[in-house]
Structure 1
Amino acid sequence: MKTSSEHRFIGREPFEAALRAGECAPSVYGTRPWTISDTGGRISLRADPDRRLAAADPGSRELVISCGAALYNVRLALRAHGVRPRVALLPDPERPALLAEVRADGPAEPGVLERLLYGAVERRRTHRGTFLSDVGDVRLMRALSAAAAAEGAVLHLLTDDSAVRSLAGLVTAAEHLQRGERTRGEELARWVRPPGGPPGAGVRAEDFPPSEGAAETPFPGRDYGRGGVRGLLAPSGQATGTVAVLTTAEDGRPAHLAAGQALQRVLLTAAAGGVSAAFHTQPLEEPLLRAFLGERLCRGAHPQMVLRLGRTRPPERAQQDALQNALAGF
């Protein structure tokens, strides 16, 4: 394989790290709907149409958001290894599956926050249950909002109880509607892995709670088991967590890529502070509910993700100190 002189000068490690990091991104149903390759110092991110969710995501909005999260990890890994990334989004109209190309744009010393976020890439895990507590840290909340803004999105933190109850009602309504749809149930079942199964794409039984417990929460999660696989996730506590909606001003593929990058930057900032996130995309998969949510709770912006943020265990002092030092500018 022919490599560029720039690639030879930088070496293989940053690019290999970027490929590994990309695969650690969150994705809808755990589908990992992307292919990430490195050819001579050019990393290509492509959507994998074979992993599109035809019933839940016919327009591929969530697929592209998932790919955007992978793209952020690629960028971050390069920066953490001293390489400034140069990103071309949607570089070829003739190849719509090619979402981004990333090249090296010279050396760049990583900052403290970039190193901290990169260290959280493999630790971050999607949480699908209740929390021990909400975020409970004003500086971290400001940092989460700033992380979204840095990628061209807005993180709306819902502090009004009536807004939280309204959003919970939308999630509940959408979840119960979707549980009655046979095609969605069959599609979901294809991505659920039973206990002790081999590693790979999809959602493990260990990563979601039993369906009988999930029904008791204000924000019900998906019924991943659908009667076939019992969830094994033990409850962390009784807290709903801090509720937020991630939005963008526009709603095309560039906005969905931006939303995915913003989402992952928020998630890694949260993970660095010992905070996990749960996703609730059910109402966003119903066009009328999504439009209602955007108009009534998001000031007309386009909602791209509904999430709850919280702690599943008490914060560690060393972790908190490291994050506070990195967030000194917020």
Structure 2
Amino acid sequence: MTVVSAKHALEAAVEAARWAPSVHNTQPWTFVVSEQEIGLRADTDRKLRESDVSGRELLISCGAALFTMRTAMRCEGFEPVVRTLPDPDRPSLLATLRPGTEAQADETIKALGGEIERRRTHRAGFADVAVPDGVVERLVLAAMEECARLTPVRSPDAIRVIAGLTQAAQGVQAQDRRFSLEMIRWARPPDSSRTDGVPAQGYPREAARTDPHFPQREYAWQHGWGSEADQRGATAVGVVALLTTRGDTRQDWIDAGQALQHVLLEASAYGLSAAFHTQALEMEPLREFLRIQLCSGEYPQMIMRLGVTFDDKDSIRRPLSEIIE
């Protein structure tokens, strides 16, 4: 292993991590890069203090960045050596990663790496195109590899329950001014030069309703922002899936983030996009109801819908100068 190639692998990993998904595109991470390893740190200034009191969503976002770095490093020809939560005295240090032995990336890893910058979050209904069962099974296996469980919800009654809980949570949050102000802090106005948050073209001004209805975040709250993209026909719910973990510790949240990004990159390679619904998971009584009634006692970390969309949106990310310490 040459010093030059290892250094390039570290640089490629940090560059790739910028494109990981995060709640409201807060990008709540920073990186400390040396000649030998990368330290992934939680940027707690970007924590959602109203909707994410425990920091669960922040750590899921950072876990997604960690899996992205692992994938990029493998694409550069190195097996990553990872330590999560390596120092109890530094709780913001979530993981360290360094190049290990040289290893040729296989076609699966290369395919995942090719989707890192192409993957996009969807915020509307899907086209009425069936998702093959074989693809869903691949996504289930992807989550399993990262110590999490992805469960496709097949029962129409269960799907209606999840949609109803999402509607209920959205309705309660909409009445909470602090919740609303926190969310719109991360909604970018049209033509904004910000490099974080959700851009106005990133969600429809009026999304077509799915049946059952899965409401989207009201990023346009009292502003009328949003894209004018034609949503006619994009009313399919898609495949509803629950991402769960056996425990609910900081390690489990990081694992959930790694599993989430593995699933998303795999889905993107098959032409699928994902829409996220975390409203009910941000209200502990509703999250507990889901855990007991629909998740077999496991802890729900993400509710998502997977499907086909023909949208082609741009994405924004902070420059490296802002995220490297």
What residue in structure 2 maps to residue 173 of structure 1?
A: 168
Quick check: 1:145 aligned with 2:140? yes
Deviation, structure 1 residue 141: 0.7
Picking from 213, 217, 222, the partner of 2:217 is: 222
Matches for 1:93-132 after TM superposition, within 5 Å: 93-132=88-127
Amino acid at match of 1:268: L
CA distance in 1, matches of 2:228, 2:211: 15
| Kept in 2: contact 1:34–1:46 (CA 8 A) | yes
What residue in structure 1 maps to residue 189 of structure 2?
A: 194
CA distance in 2, matches of 1:7, 1:179: 55
TM-score by length of 1: 0.90
The alignment partner of 2:32 has SS state of strand
CA distance in 1, matches of 2:176, 2:2: 50
Deviation readout 1:208-231 (Å, 9 max, x if unpaired):
122575698610011111112421
CA RMSD, Structure 1 to Structure 2 (Å): 1.7
What residue in structure 2 maps to residue 305 of structure 1?
A: 302
Deviation, structure 1 residue 37: 2.9
TM-score by length of 2: 0.91
What residue in structure 2 maps to residue 255 of structure 1?
A: 252
The alignment partner of 1:44 has SS state of strand
Deviation, structure 1 residue 26: 0.4
| Kept in 2: contact 1:244–1:308 (CA 8 A) | yes
Quick check: 1:13 aligned with 2:8? yes
The alignment partner of 1:203 has SS state of coil
Deviation, structure 1 residue 12: 2.7
CA distance in 2, matches of 1:7, 1:97: 31
Amino acid at match of 1:223: E
What residue in structure 1 maps to residue 82 of structure 2?
A: 87
CA distance in 1, matches of 2:227, 2:137: 34
Deviation readout 1:212-263 (Å, 9 max, x if unpaired):
7569861001111111242116226111111000000000000000000000
Matches for 1:267-306 after TM superposition, within 5 Å: 267-306=264-303
Quick check: 1:242 aligned with 2:239? yes
| Structure 1 residue ranges without an equivalent (≥5) | 1-5, 315-330
What residue in structure 2 maps to residue 317 of structure 1?
A: none
Amino acid at match of 1:58: V
CA distance in 1, matches of 2:71, 2:122: 22
Deviation, structure 1 residue 40: 1.2
Tell me whether 28-37 or 192-201 shows the greater mean CA deviation: 192-201
Runs of 4+ aligned structure 1 residues displaced above 4 Å come to 211-217
CA distance in 2, matches of 1:164, 1:295: 15
CA distance in 2, matches of 1:28, 1:278: 12
Quick check: 1:61 aligned with 2:42? no
Amino acid at match of 2:20: A
Deviation readout 1:54-79 (Å, 9 max, x if unpaired):
00101100000000000000000000
Deviation, structure 1 residue 11: 3.8
Picking from 153, 158, 182, the partner of 2:177 is: 182
What residue in structure 2 maps to residue 208 of structure 1?
A: 203
| Kept in 2: contact 1:129–1:233 (CA 8 A) | no
| Kept in 2: contact 1:78–1:85 (CA 8 A) | yes
The alignment partner of 2:292 has SS state of helix
CA distance in 2, matches of 1:51, 1:309: 27
Deviation, structure 1 residue 15: 1.4
The alignment partner of 1:86 has SS state of strand
Deviation, structure 1 residue 138: 1.7
Identity of aligned residues (%): 43
CA distance in 2, matches of 1:116, 1:215: 31
CA distance in 1, matches of 2:175, 2:30: 33
Deviation, structure 1 residue 201: 0.8
Quick check: 1:32 aligned with 2:27? yes
CA distance in 1, matches of 2:247, 2:129: 30
The alignment partner of 1:110 has SS state of coil
Deviation, structure 1 residue 41: 2.2
Deviation, structure 1 residue 310: 0.3
